[in-house]
Structure 1
Amino acid sequence: MPIKTMSEYWIISAPGDKTCQQTFDTMNNLTSKQHNLCSNYKFHIPDLKVGTLDQLVGLSDDLGKLDTYVEQITRKVAMYLGEVLEDQRDKLQENLQANNSPGPPDEVMPCRHHNRLKHLSLRHQRKHQHTHHQNNPLHYHPHHHHQLPMDIKADLPLYLTRFQWDMAKYPIKQSLRNIADIISKQIGQIDGDLKTKSQAYNNLKGNLQNLEKKKTGSLLTRNLADLVKKEHFILDSEYLTTLLVIVPKAMANDWLANYEKITDMIVPRSSQLIKEDPDYCLFNVTLFKKVTEEFKLHARERKFIVRDFVYNEEELAAGKNEMTKLMTDKKKQFGPLVRWLKVNFSEAFCALIHVKALRVFVESVLRYGLPVNFQAILIEPNKKSVKRLRDVLNQLYGHLDGASAGGHVSSADNVDIPGLGFGQSEYYPYVFYKVNIDMVEQTKL
């Protein structure tokens, strides 16, 4: 029987051992191979520019806000795509794709940091990194890995488990702050465009729904234009007019027996049943124009309601044309809008995972110090093993932080030190962030 997994993934990081591969293997053997608590994947983060400690502390807080904002917009795009799909909403999940290519298999990726840098200063380390990239052009160059074409569609778990940094969109030569700004502007643009596009489409949909609503519902309120025919009316008469009257169904016989007596000057046997619904009947009646107001008044006293309606073929045709035009406009806009939403969902989701990568990087440097030496790991917990997995991870990494060696520190015990993640509601001795890929209904543990 297959083990149930969740829509929630965890990204953690731990300090590098002799090699980053060793860090991964130790964790993977304990959590996955020995106890079968989860599936683990290396989460590849490139050699980003570290900057100064002050910059990292300030950026850590800002990245938390950016994370929330990007996830909010990603979900907003997903939810609106569901709205637009309407009766095809069951196809929403298959339309939520990440269109950047999955990355290479783990074994292709070199260990991202080198322990021989352990005693170098920040300045020397950054100089080494620059030289290292010049001397090793294959290092993290996306075109040298065995990968799928950049326009390939990947479902969200595949994109996440084979995450590869998008060098073209988020150049790693830029500072961390600049990369965060690029993502913020990109998502702000998507948010603004979504507002404009959704408002235009919703207005069109609303107008169409109003017209459709008028074609259905009670005879008291619905549009009567598509129910009546020319022969139901006396037209172009100087003295006579035809009215449409709504009669409660239980009083239909009363109407037929007495309508000629409501006022004088009613044409005998001029009333016929045109339409009925569960509650009401629609009758016409012809009378002299001069008694119209008197007839309306006395009809209302008997609970017969005269609807305001003038038979005009040009106006009726225009109404039908408006309906046709709105339906045509909606169909025309549907395809491009769905395509835009799919593309921009992918953009937003990919940006969200890049923000998570930035947060892991910044938090790892702040916690584990310089030189940069940590292994980021993506964990897919098995549904029934979450608590046990937490215990095992705390046994493995509890020594990293004496204050929380016993495991999870509650938010009440947290001391909020900017940039060190202590203000989070969940704090563990290892760097930890959640990724929930259920973009429609956020599931909780």
Structure 2
Amino acid sequence: MREVMEQSSDKVLENALANGVELMSYMTKFQWDKAKYPTALPLSSLTDIINKEVSQMETELKSRAAAYNSVKMSLQSLEHKLDGTLQTRSLNGIVRKEDLVVSEYLTTLLVVVTRLVTLNWERTYESLSEFVVPRSSRKLYEDGEGGLFSVTLFKRAVCEFKAKPCCLCQLPYEVFVAWIHLKAMRVFVESVLRYGLPVNYQALVLHTDKKHSKKLREELASLFIHLDPTATASKTDVRGQIHFLYF
């Protein structure tokens, strides 16, 4: 993401979203997606669905990465030209006064979109910020390299809009969503295997840092040792026996 966002690499964490929410919030407020992963299916079938989904996303990510690198190389080549491209040429005669909306709250941005991602722009520009005016984008000019588009939005969202990463960056977080569902399945399976039926357990997510992680594990080991009848009394063995608590 840092490579793709380039000038806005300091905003990577702000754009690290899973299903539209920050990653830690997604984990701590996790709800199983029954529409995507029907709970009526066997666990083996759910695992197959997740594996197939991740494999498809990996293939798509490679395709988008190749397209992105191709566009980046083309852009770098174009930037070395002195004139003749939308990035460097004068827009007089292309952009008219009536193409621009400028008011107390609204403004119009001009966006150069390469030919490879023109269709994606038209599908996704409204989602780059909640303050984009719907259906406001207009194609003002097009040549063999791409097109010049206008888009109207609230002035306060200009910085946010410019900092948004391209759609290439969303795939890793779709994988994250699948990964968390897989973790939830593991919690279920482990609970049944260790505690039997009927299913009666409570899953918790504890957020810590590297400095306090070891101490937290030791405290949990001491607190829940009674749940593992195979654990020995020694402190070293306790830490080894309760590893199933951590996923």
- Verify same fold: TM over 0.5: yes
In 2: Cα distance, 1:342 partner to 1:376 partner:
30
Q: Is the contact between residue 205 and residue 330 of structure 1 (CA under 8 Å) also seen in structure 2?
A: no
Residue 349 of structure 1 aligns to a residue in which SS? helix
1:97 paired residue number: 17
In 1: Cα distance, 2:21 partner to 2:32 partner:
15
Shift of 1:321: 4.7
| 1:210–1:341 Cα change, 3 Å | closer
User: Could you give the per-residue CA deviations for residues 40-60 of structure 1, whole angstroms, max 9, x where no partner exists?
Assistant: xxxxxxxxxxxxxxxxxxxxx
What stretches of structure 1 move > 6 A for 4+ residues in a row? 322-325
| 1:430–1:365 Cα change, 3 Å | farther
Unaligned runs of 5+ in 2: 90-111, 125-163
RMSD: 3.4
Counterparts of residues 12-23 of structure 1 (less than 5 Å): none
Q: Is the contact between residue 208 and residue 323 of structure 1 (CA under 8 Å) also seen in structure 2?
A: no
TM-score by length of 1: 0.36
Shift of 1:156: 1.4
1:369 aligns with one of 182, 191, 196 = 196
TM-score by length of 2: 0.61
In 2: Cα distance, 1:341 partner to 1:203 partner:
13
In 2: Cα distance, 1:82 partner to 1:358 partner:
31
Tell me whether 1:192 sits opposite 2:20 in the alignment. no
Larger Rg: 1
| 1:163–1:365 Cα change, 3 Å | same
Of structures 1 and 2, the one with the larger relative CO (CA 8 A, separation 6+) is 1
In 1: Cα distance, 2:116 partner to 2:165 partner:
11
Tell me whether 1:389 sits opposite 2:202 in the alignment. no
| 1:179–1:85 Cα change, 3 Å | same
2:114 paired residue number: 329
Q: Is the contact between residue 97 and residue 345 of structure 1 (CA under 8 Å) also seen in structure 2?
A: no
2:26 paired residue number: 159
Q: Is the contact between residue 190 and residue 344 of structure 1 (CA under 8 Å) also seen in structure 2?
A: yes
Counterparts of residues 228-243 of structure 1 (less than 5 Å): none
Unaligned runs of 5+ in 1: 1-80, 100-152, 216-224, 227-316, 411-425, 435-445
2:245 paired residue number: 432
Shift of 1:358: 0.9
Q: Is the contact between residue 65 and residue 168 of structure 2 (CA under 8 Å) also seen in structure 1?
A: no
| 1:194–1:164 Cα change, 3 Å | same
> Identity rate of aligned residues, in percent?
40
Counterparts of residues 232-381 of structure 1 (less than 5 Å): 320-321=84-85, 328-329=113-114, 338=165, 340-341=167-168, 343-381=170-208
Residue 204 of structure 2 aligns to a residue in which SS? strand
Q: How many residues align?
A: 182
Tell me whether 1:406 sits opposite 2:234 in the alignment. yes
Q: Is the contact between residue 398 and residue 406 of structure 1 (CA under 8 Å) also seen in structure 2?
A: no
Shift of 1:332: 5.0
Shift of 1:429: 2.0
In 2: Cα distance, 1:164 partner to 1:396 partner:
27
1:178 paired residue number: 45
Q: Is the contact between residue 405 and residue 429 of structure 1 (CA under 8 Å) also seen in structure 2?
A: no
